[in-house]
Copies of this chain bind each other. A is one copy, B any other.
């Protein structure tokens, strides 16, 4: 694997800038009442993060030549779900974290009640955006997209994964158990990001869907393994969130389950599997391949 070439970095920077502007436009203005809630929603979402999920949506959308304004709307919905999950995850009753994306977490900057409601309202807004007419000509397919995101966010997706995570604190998990947790906690939303991007170009056939599913699953796990490695190795300043926290909280990680060397190998293997899944899709899958590399090689 080689480092991402400049063209990929440009593509990535372009989408990150586009999403920042789109999210700023789609979130309620901070001047509108209730102002404190709207400020908190904006604070939680804007100026932060690598926008990995939107990048995946655009990469999958490029494969099917989907219209960028549709990808933008779908990617914004996914990113709002992600942003809400971080706000709730940082609350004292969950991970009790004070730092996120280099800034105080929402409940520290505002207060717990406002953080709770901001997360709740971000989730509602995600579904509002996904129901906008811009998203598809085929309303039936668009309803399928709403359902896909709802399932990915819900008790058998992301929220369920967070529950499994909570219950795992202090428990030594096996690698398959760890994998099952992450397939829900981060994998479900990453899969939704990829499949929604593809759906923006029309309903994908079963073969394409299976390949994208496999890609999303392996990329999602790679992302998590690298996250655990970075949490173990990097400093708080580089990460923009509290480093080394998972292991101190007694949370099982890939590093604690298999050691650093084996975790590094696993990240590489998962990256290769992701590449293999989209290999037969030809040049249109270029961004998906580059993103898989980026996710494995990232340093933050």
Contacts and interface: CB of A to CB of B under 8 A. Distances in A.
B139 A154 contact: no
B125 A155 contact: yes
Contacts of A156: 28, 32
Interface stretch (A55-63, A115-123, A231-239): A115-123
A42 to B, nearest CB: 11
A144 interface: yes
Interface majority SS on A: helix, strand, loop or mixed? Answer: helix
A121 B159 CA distance: 6
25 contacts: A28-B155, A28-B156, A34-B160, A36-B163, A37-B159, A91-B116, A113-B166, A116-B116, A117-B155, A117-B163, A120-B159, A121-B154, A123-B123, A124-B151, A124-B159, A125-B150, A125-B154, A127-B146, A128-B154, A132-B147, A139-B139, A139-B140, A139-B142, A139-B143, A142-B143
A164 B131 contact: no
A218 interface: no
A120 B143 CA distance: 20
Contact of A117 (B32, B147, B159): B159
Interface string A18-44: 000000000010001110111001000
B133 A143 contact: yes
B150 A37 contact: no
Nearest to A148: B131
A153 B121 CA distance: 7
Contacts of A151: 124, 128
A253 interface: no
Copies of the polypeptide in the assembly: 2
Contacts of A33: 160, 164
A94 B36 CA distance: 15
Name the residue among A119, A124, A128, A157 with the largest chain B CB count within 10 angstroms. A124
Interface residues of A, number: 54
A157 B117 CA distance: 12
A123 B125 contact: no
A34 B114 contact: no
A150 B133 contact: no
A206 interface: no
A10 interface: no
Nearest to A157: B124
A112 B93 contact: yes
Contacts of A131: 143-144, 146-147, 150
Nearest to A154: B124
A29 to B, nearest CB: 11
Contacts of A153: 120-121, 124
Give the 8 A-B residue pairs with the shortest CB-CB distance, closest first: A139-B139, A124-B154, A128-B150, A93-B112, A121-B155, A131-B146, A121-B159, A131-B147
Contact of A123 (B28, B37, B124): B124
A138 to B, nearest CB: 8
